[in-house]
Structure 1
Amino acid sequence: MIPTAFEYESPGTVEDAVRLLAEGGDDVKVLAGGQSLIPVLKLRLAGPELIVDLGRIDGLRGIREEGDELVIGSMTPHHDVATSGLVRDHAALLAEAAGTVADPQVRHRGTFGGALVHADPAGDLPAPALALGASFEITGPSGARTVAADDFFVDLFTTAVGEDEILTAVRIPKRTGWGAAYEKFVRVSQQWSIVGVAATLRVEGGTIAEARLGLTNMGSTPVRPTAVEQALIGVAPVKDAVEAAVAGVSDGTTPPDDLNGSADYRRHLARVLTQRAVVRGATA
């Protein structure tokens, strides 16, 4: 199908983009990589009067170090995140997860920030961002603010970014030397995750000293099972011991019940994939 007619603006600065959003009101959409927005427009599930394209704002791209954090611009393509030496060295979980997003074409066009703001519960980046303790830099008419990952994902396809605001960067605390693994289950290649598990761990003396986990598609937002993280401390990274420690990983979750799998099936997958992610991540 052909989208409905709309006006198009491609500002060169964040300030100009924010101004256009404020002037556009409820009938404006932000275009980042377009991998989610363009299909929606073609299907006429959305009919904005104005599209604001962020592609000309060079300052929104790139990966850099700032002290104990990595700073990733919101318009940085998934491919750049997946192949960055800085990300592999200091946030290995994010590099691995970004490398599983869709296919090479999408990874070259889709953007890191765009996927996070889209907040699809089956998307592969929100759970790793939550597990890593990311923080999100947001700019709007009132200036810039920073939101922690725990407060960023609000509901299904909803984040803390307001209609007149733009996500400009994501800060990732360095987890240098930590093992990491992202395990997801799909029925066919490049499908959205039926369930995914993000795990990053620090091992000392043959046991897990720290663990951070995130669950994909186990609720309307990514889930961090903190009780299981605590249960893993002091556990040897072997199958039986880890399996016992993560038995309650799906407790309190609200997975969807649809054609791809029942809620109970997803809870089973969460337990299996968590065990695999923890063992692989801790022994990497």
Structure 2
Amino acid sequence: MFPDEFEYVEAESAEHAVELLDEHATEEVELLAGGHSLLPAMKTGLSSPDVLIDLGSVDELRGVSADGDTLSVGATTRYTDFLDSDDAHEHAPAMAEAVAQVGDVQVRNRGTVGGNLAHADPASDLPAAALTSDATLVALGPDGEREIPVEEFFYGMYATDLAPTEMLISVEIPSASDAVGAYAKKPSPSSGYAMIGVSALLDVDGNTVREARVGANGAVGQGVLLPSVADAIEGEALDEDSVAAAAEHATEDVDEAMLMDDIQASGEFRAQLLEVYAERALLAAMEEASAPAAAD
């Protein structure tokens, strides 16, 4: 299928993109980054923008850098470039584990970290990892920059705190260089999206979990934290028994009435998957924590 007609504009900078958003505020406008979500939606008629603003030439929106205790990721940084960054693996292990499981090589070569988060697909892989990583989303609008804590960013299915005249410019992640991260998902056999995906970030001292953050995709209409799982594993010796016991709490933090129910899986099945994949994510983190350190 072919998309409806639209006006195409190439942004010269982040500020120029915001000016264009403001200029076309009364029209339906979409930002083009990697395009893996937007272009299929346009071809099927699910999205029909009047104006398409291409961010592909805005170099300032790309890149990964560590500054002190913060990892900064440009919004249009491609997945593959994120994974090629040693800083990303060192400072954002939970995010790195999730990015590595996005789509396939072709998707990771074109798709972008910020595009994934701004699109807010409940079945995408990064919202839970961003929540687990305690990220801050930096938006740029006509009034300047605005920092949005990740727990306030997602409002529901395909809905975020971004205003129509704002755009995501970077993702700021506090360094978790002393922690281990993991991501486990049940991929849809048709799309590779997460029927359920669970992200875990554990700060382990010896064999004891000092601090934990656990989050999930695919359960409800947005990524969510699972604090009951985190509370259950904190202070415990990290072993198969403690992991299994913690995972049993996975459904306590989601409203059963809000569990997604579609052709991929029923809400009841997703609840079962949530416990299973919470356990798998914690087991993967346990294996990482017990792995010998790589030689210098």
Q: Which moved more, 1:98-107 or 1:231-240?
A: 231-240
Residue 282 of structure 1: how far off its partner (Å): 2.5
2:13 corresponding residue in structure 1: 13
SS in 2 for 1:65: strand
2:189 corresponding residue in structure 1: 188
SS in 1 for 2:53: strand
Q: Distance in 2 between matches of 1:241 and 1:49?
A: 53
**Aligned pair partner of 1:276 in 270, 275, 280:** 280
Q: Which moved more, 1:5-14 or 1:188-197?
A: 188-197
Once the two structures are superposed, residues 180-218 of structure 1 have per-residue CA deviations (whole angstroms, 9 ceiling, x without a partner) of 110001252752111010001011131211111111111
Contact 1:82 1:97 in 2 (8 A): no
One-letter code aligned to 1:95:
A
Evaluate the alpha carbon distance shift between residue 80 and residue 21 of structure 1 in structure 2; reply closer, same or farther with a 3 A threshold.
same
Q: Distance in 2 between matches of 1:9 and 1:16?
A: 10
Residue 103 of structure 1: how far off its partner (Å): 0.9
Evaluate the alpha carbon distance shift between residue 12 and residue 187 of structure 1 in structure 2; reply closer, same or farther with a 3 A threshold.
closer
| Correspondences of 1:41-60 after superposition (within 5 Å) | 41-60=42-61
Q: Which runs of 5+ in 1 are unaligned?
A: none
2:292 corresponding residue in structure 1: none
One-letter code aligned to 1:282:
M
Q: Distance in 1 between matches of 2:138 and 2:43?
A: 30
Q: Distance in 1 between matches of 2:190 and 2:85?
A: 24
1:258 corresponding residue in structure 2: 262
Residue 268 of structure 1: how far off its partner (Å): 1.2
Contact 2:227 2:253 in 1 (8 A): no
Contact 1:182 1:277 in 2 (8 A): yes
SS in 2 for 1:117: helix
One-letter code aligned to 1:78:
Y
Q: Distance in 1 between matches of 2:46 and 2:265?
A: 25
Once the two structures are superposed, residues 152-180 of structure 1 have per-residue CA deviations (whole angstroms, 9 ceiling, x without a partner) of 01111011111111100000010003111
1:23 corresponding residue in structure 2: 23
CA RMSD of aligned residues (A): 1.3
Q: Which moved more, 1:13-22 or 1:114-123?
A: 13-22
Q: Distance in 1 between matches of 2:58 and 2:185?
A: 33
Contact 1:90 1:174 in 2 (8 A): yes
SS in 2 for 1:145: strand
Evaluate the alpha carbon distance shift between residue 200 and residue 189 of structure 1 in structure 2; reply closer, same or farther with a 3 A threshold.
farther
Once the two structures are superposed, residues 208-245 of structure 1 have per-residue CA deviations (whole angstroms, 9 ceiling, x without a partner) of 11111111111111110112211111222222222112
SS in 2 for 1:229: helix
Q: Distance in 1 between matches of 2:186 and 2:229?
A: 20
1:115 corresponding residue in structure 2: 116
SS in 1 for 2:281: helix
| Correspondences of 1:169-188 after superposition (within 5 Å) | 169-188=170-189
Residue 279 of structure 1: how far off its partner (Å): 2.0
Q: Distance in 2 between matches of 1:196 and 1:77?
A: 21
Q: Distance in 1 between matches of 2:188 and 2:45?
A: 28
TM-score relative to the length of structure 2? 0.93
Contact 1:82 1:96 in 2 (8 A): no
One-letter code aligned to 1:44:
G
Contact 2:199 2:216 in 1 (8 A): yes
Contact 1:193 1:217 in 2 (8 A): yes
Once the two structures are superposed, residues 32-80 of structure 1 have per-residue CA deviations (whole angstroms, 9 ceiling, x without a partner) of 1111110111112222221100111100000011221000000000111
1:64 corresponding residue in structure 2: 65
1:164 corresponding residue in structure 2: 165
Contact 2:123 2:194 in 1 (8 A): yes
Evaluate the alpha carbon distance shift between residue 189 and residue 38 of structure 1 in structure 2; reply closer, same or farther with a 3 A threshold.
closer
SS in 2 for 1:244: helix
Q: Distance in 2 between matches of 1:176 and 1:17?
A: 34
Q: Distance in 1 between matches of 2:15 and 2:277?
A: 43
Once the two structures are superposed, residues 78-102 of structure 1 have per-residue CA deviations (whole angstroms, 9 ceiling, x without a partner) of 1111231101111111111101101
Q: Distance in 2 between matches of 1:46 and 1:196?
A: 26
Q: Distance in 2 between matches of 1:220 and 1:229?
A: 21
Does 2:186 align with 1:151?
no
Q: Which moved more, 1:25-34 or 1:151-160?
A: 25-34
